[in-house]
């Protein structure tokens, strides 16, 4: 608090990102990063962009990321004018709050979901109501049939990993024509159906993607929104009133190459999914209850052990998982899927803790 702060800054509750420990080789299962290096084509593209001298860095990057948008549109079978690009999907989501979700009525999102949503709502002074997940930690779309200024949730949801089928998303979007529905598909490649298939038919649907998870580019900060050109226009109006060059040259080159390597995506996602099933079985054998996950993390609790205490003991062994000190979820741990070797290290440590 300082007398120089604006009122709004005094009222903010900033998002707390997962720890990035300064250790040589932590077992880092706390921020849902990909355990594998990105496609080799990404590295090639970055080297190519830099050239011998880095000459291209003298110049500003393409403000509208034309090549990247074309590659992503081709990958999804849509038009480039249906694609918005931002500095990580967090920035895309922030712009969506300001451009599309700020109306007279409160927006709706689940009580257990990505904790950046309430942060953006406070930043942009968007009123919101939370809608409780069911007892099984699932979203019931009928609970969103109430007046609203917009709806937003991830599919699969975070931190639960639960995914809704496309037909349920369509039922919601079709019934909610008066406001925008934002489906945040950060984890879609690990087992959910994308709602991009619906954007041609529903002008009120915005789908948000990231290269941070399935494409292993969290360090590059590239995210997207897909939707009707009118929605994309709104996001561009905010972008060009905020930062017209959100993506640097290396990020644009890297992300374009990542979208041109579909084989890498399929192989790596399959590996992560196989490790998730293996980890789920091992955790279940130790007595954990694991929410069925369609993401690159699992959400698990042990009926006989305090989750915060488990996380603290793991941390002593340089194993990092995420614990949220919030109602309904404080008995759970969110564990990102690592390599099989990292998952084995975790399981060995947990064996000793819950024995």
Ligand X SMILES: Cc1ncc(COP(=O)(O)O)c(C=O)c1O
CB of 275 to ligand X, least distance (A): 18
Residue pair 322/30 in contact by the 8 Å Cβ criterion: yes
- Residue 355 CB, shortest distance to ligand X, in Å, is 32
Query: CB of 182: closest distance to ligand X in angstroms?
Result: 10
- Please state the closest distance from residue 286 (CB atom) to ligand X, in A: 26
CA distance 151 to 129: 10
Q: Shortest distance, CB of residue 217 to ligand X, whole angstroms?
A: 9
CB of 124 to ligand X, least distance (A): 17
d(CA 211, CA 269): 13
* 322: DSSP letter: B
Region label for 25, one of left (φ > 0), alpha (ψ between -120 and 50) or beta (otherwise):
beta
Residue 29 to residues 18, 292, 323, 337, Cα–Cα distance (Å): 10, 18, 11, 7
Residue number with CB closer to ligand X (124 or 286): 124
Residues that bind ligand X in the complex, under the rule CB under 6 A: 32, 88-90, 114, 154, 158, 184, 186, 210, 212, 218, 223
Q: Please, what is the minimum distance in Å from the beta carbon of residue 184 to ligand X? A: 5
Cα–Cα dist 190/186, whole Å: 10
Residues 161, 186: contact at Cβ < 8 Å? no
Nearer to ligand X by Cβ, of 204 and 210: the residue is: 210
Rounded CA-CA distance 30/19 in Å is 7
Q: Which residues pair with 129 in a beta bridge?
A: 108
Burial 322-352 (b: 16+ CB within 10 A, else e): bbbeeeebeebbbbbbbeeebbebbbebbee
Q: Decide whether 156 or 305 has the Cβ nearer to ligand X.
A: 156
Instruction: Identify which of residues 184 and 189 has a Cβ nearer to ligand X in the complex.
Output: 184
User: The tokens of 327 are what?
Assistant: 């109602």
């Amino acid at each position: 608090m300082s007398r120089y702060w604006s009122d709004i800054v005094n009222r903010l509750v900033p998002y707390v990102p997962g720890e990035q420990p300064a250790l040589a080789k932590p077992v880092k299962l706390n921020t849902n990063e990909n355990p594998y290096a990105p496609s080799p084509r990404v590295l090639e593209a970055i080297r190519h962009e830099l050239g011998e001298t880095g000459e291209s860095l003298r110049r500003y990057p393409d403000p509208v990321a034309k090549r990247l948008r074309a590659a992503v549109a081709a990958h999804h079978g849509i038009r480039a004018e249906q694609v918005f690009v931002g500095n990580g999907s967090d920035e895309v989501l922030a712009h969506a709050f300001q451009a599309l979700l700020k109306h007279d009525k409160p927006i709706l999102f689940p009580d257990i979901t990505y904790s950046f949503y309430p942060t953006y709502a406070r930043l942009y002074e968007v009123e919101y109501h939370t809608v409780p997940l069911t007892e099984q930690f699932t979203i019931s779309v009928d609970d969103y049939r109430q007046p609203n200024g917009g709806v937003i949730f991830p599919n699969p949801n975070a931190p639960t990993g639960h995914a809704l089928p496309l037909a349920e998303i369509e039922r919601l979007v079709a019934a909610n024509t008066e406001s925008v529905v934002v489906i945040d598909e950060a984890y879609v490649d690990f087992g959910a159906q994308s709602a991009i298939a619906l954007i041609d038919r529903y002008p009120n649907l915005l789908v948000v993607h990231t290269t941070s998870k399935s494409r292993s580019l969290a360090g590059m900060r590239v995210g997207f929104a897909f939707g009707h050109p009118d929605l994309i226009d709104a996001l561009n109006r905010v972008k060009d009133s905020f930062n017209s060059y959100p993506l640097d040259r290396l990020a644009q080159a890297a992300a374009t190459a990542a979208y041109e390597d579909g084989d890498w995506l399929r192989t790596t996602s399959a590996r992560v999914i196989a490790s998730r099933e293996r980890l789920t079985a091992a955790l279940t054998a130790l007595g954990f209850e694991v929410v069925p996950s369609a993401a690159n993390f699992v959400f698990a609790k042990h009926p006989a052990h305090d989750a915060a205490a488990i996380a603290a003991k793991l941390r002593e062994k340089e194993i990092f998982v995420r614990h949220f000190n919030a109602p309904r979820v404080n008995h759970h741990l969110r564990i990102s899927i690592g390599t099989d070797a990292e998952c084995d290290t975790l399981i060995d440590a947990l064996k000793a803790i819950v024995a």
